[in-house]
Each structure stands twice: as C-alpha cells, then as structure tokens.
Amino acid sequence: MEAIGTLLELFPHSIVAGVLIAAACAALGVFVILKRMVFIGAVLSEVAAAGLALAMVWHAPPLLGAASLTLAVSWGLSRPFETTRIPRDAILGTLFAAAAALSVLLAARAGLGLEEIKTLLYGDLILTRRADLLPITIGVLPAGLLLACGLRPIVHTFMDRESARIMNVRVNRWEIAFFLALALVISLASRVAGAMLVFAYLVMPSSAALLLSRRLGIVMLLAAGLAVGATLAGLYASLVWDLPTNQLIVAFLALTLPLAAIKRSLID
C-alpha cells in the first residue's frame, strides 16, 4: 500500500498518460489486427521517432516533427495498394528500416548522447511531465470520437470493402480517417512512451482480446482494459523493483497472450 501511495504522489502524470495511451492504442490496435497490418504499428512508431529526431536537428518543436512526419507517411499508406506491383508489406519493410536508421543518424547529428538516443527510441513513461498530458489528450480525443461516431462504417471498410461500397460507405475516406487518427495517436504517444511500448500497446492486448471474445465492442473494451492493467502493473513494479518501466509494461502485456490462449482453450 505504501508503494501505491508513493506512485500516486510522485508520478500522477505518468499514470494519467499511461492510461490514455494504453486505452487509445489498444482500441485502435483491434482494427490493425483485423486488417492484418500489424507491421504498420511498428513502422509509424519508428517514423514518429525519426520525426522527433528531425525536429531536434532543425531546432523545431519535437511534437510538431513527430506528428508532421507520421501523418504524412500515414496518408501515403492509407492509399489502396491492390493495383500496384509492389505489395504494401514491401513498402512497410522499407519504411521501417529507413526510419529506424534515420532516427539514430538524426539523433547523433543533433548531438545527442547514447542515453539520450535510447530515451528517444524507447521512451520512459515514468518520466512523463504535466506538460506532456495536453498533447496526449489532443491525440486521443479525435481517435475516440472517430471510433464512437464511425465504428460501423470503419468495421465495414476493414472487413469487406466491396460490400461496404455496395452499402454506399465511402471506404477510402473512412480508411484515410482511421490511419490519420492512428498516426496522430502514435506520434504524440511516442514522445513519452517510445516506439517499442506504443507498438506493444497496438498489438498485444488487442490480440489477447480477440482470443477472448468475438463481439467487437467487448473486444475493444477488453483490449483497453488489458492494456491499462498492464500499464498500472508495470508502473507499480518499476517503483518496487527499481527496473525500467517501459520494458516491464511490455513484459506484462506479453503475458496477456498466453493467459488469453489458456482461457480460450478452457472455454473450447
């Protein structure tokens, strides 16, 4: 109980930021999994890190660099790739490798040391400041509104584009809107959470939730709940065990998959 009190007293901003980022990324991650584009989360996370480093080189606001570059790449990835000779996965792989290399090169160019580069790439949720909460909230709210108001057309767009067109759903617009919301959340979350943790939020809890339920609404709630629970557990364990926060949260997130698989096997 003493450790919980210390966590609430010393790191309230980390708790709020962690809950917002975890819930938003996990809910959006359900559609990333359903669309079978898991790698896009890793790509946009690395692009956000490259945007942060680019802003440091140009002495611009870091969040502006991350958001601008991530939104631009996301806009390009939202375009249909069915008729192109190069598959989307090849583009994603190229972008991932280029962004990962570019983020390190730009960070070194900006004069950052090894520890600062690690912080840029991996983040540290426990160090969240009060000033970080506003941009995170700005990124989360549009994504929440999009899912609340456009859940049905987004589901139709992602699950069956041809049927959605027959139903007069403007699939291109909804797909672009989703990718831009995803990019905004990732770019603003990466500033404090880091690329690795943001990618874990997108993939792990949503995968576990899809094992536990077939109803989309319940899946989204389960994914958000698992992500938030792992975040709070990671923050608490980090304080008690004096271990890196982000890596502990990822470890707890990773546990959700085998536990969900065991639960599913018992039900079946």
Q: Is 64 exposed, middle or buried (CB count within 10 Å of its CB: 0-12, 13-18, 19+)? A: middle
Least confident of 93-97, 207-211, 218-222: 93-97
Q: Is pLDDT of 119 > 70?
A: no
Residue given tokens 């606001």 in the structure block = 61
- In angstroms, the CA 14 to CA 129 distance is 7
Determine the pLDDT at residue 208. 96
Look up residue 130 and give its DSSP letter.
G
Determine the pLDDT at residue 246. 92
Determine the pLDDT at residue 84. 61
- In angstroms, the CA 199 to CA 124 distance is 14
Q: What is the CA radius of gyration of the chain?
A: 18
Q: Is pLDDT of 30 > 90?
A: yes
DSSP readout, 87-122? -HHHHHHHHHHHHHHHHHHHHHHTT--HHHHHHHHH
Average pLDDT (15-41) is 91
Q: Is pLDDT of 26 > 90?
A: yes
CA-based nearest residue to 48, from 27, 21, 13, 26: 21
- The answer to whether the beta carbons of residues 102 and 53 sit under 8 Å apart is yes
**Domains contained in the chain, CATH given:** 2-267 (1.10.3470.10)
Determine the pLDDT at residue 72. 87
pLDDT band for position 24 (50/70/90)? very high
User: 48-90: per-residue pLDDT in tens?
Assistant: 888 888 888 888 887 788 888 888 888 887 766 555 677 777 8
User: 167-187: per-residue pLDDT in tens?
Assistant: 888 888 888 889 889 988 998
